[in-house]
Chain A
């Protein structure tokens, strides 16, 4: 079925969730699970910062907005990829605010039929309003 979307639903914030404070233990466990040994990612102390991809562990309370076209079966989907724009690193004690917007919805037709792609943008800031990351999550649905 062809995808019909109302352009006005794009870019609208549909979730705003706060997390934190982030602990040193969380930052270190994340980095170590990636095999990191750099002291700035793995040793407690004033120099400790989060691994650059630490932010991708956060998402909004509501993952999809209600305005998603009903043509798309949101119950079955695959993570198709992510684009991350990085800002300042996460530090111990930071609070993280995640604002979610529906960024893009598009359709692709392949050999096996139509696939729908939904891109949810998470804009993440710390308690000082500094940008931590903008993460575009691309999900594929049949």
Chain B
């Protein structure tokens, strides 16, 4: 069910999601997303590329942020998502997915969001903005 425009206020926070990013889940994503590459699947292979170990694809971080948005606003509401990959998202650790409402547009019944994925110690590794269509 789609969240109603009238029920959203600027400054509202999306319920934060905390999740342990298991290496096997990242490998499953890499397989399903046609990104099967050592940097996303294998610690040793990733180190040979100069990385500290296998990393999470940026596309997967976008998918997780999309799931955060849809859990709050409903399925099929996302119109646009823009992200910047600022830091490496290392699997085998806990991450938090967060978001806030920054603006509402009454004419289009849409809301603008700031969303981000942060590490357990609060470093924002992926930041983005999104537009969602509300009911």
Contact = CB atoms under 8 A, between A and B. Distances in A.
A86 B80 contact: yes
Contact of A79 (B19, B76, B85): B85
A129 interface: no
Contacts of A57: 32-35, 59
Size bracket, chain B contacts:
20 to 34
A71 interface: no
A56 B60 CA distance: 10
B11 interface: no
A25 to B, nearest CB: 10
Contact of B63 (A26, A53, A78, A85): A53
A35 B35 CA distance: 17
Contact of A89 (B58, B70, B76, B128): B76
Contacts, number: 85
Interface of A is mostly: mixed
Interface string B12-37: 00000001000001001101111100
Contacts of A29: 28, 31-32
Contact of B80 (A49, A81, A83): A83
Nearest to B79: A86
A42 to B, nearest CB: 12
B66 A53 contact: yes
Nearest to A49: B76
Interface of A: 26, 29-30, 32-36, 38, 40-41, 49, 51-53, 56-58, 78-86, 89, 138
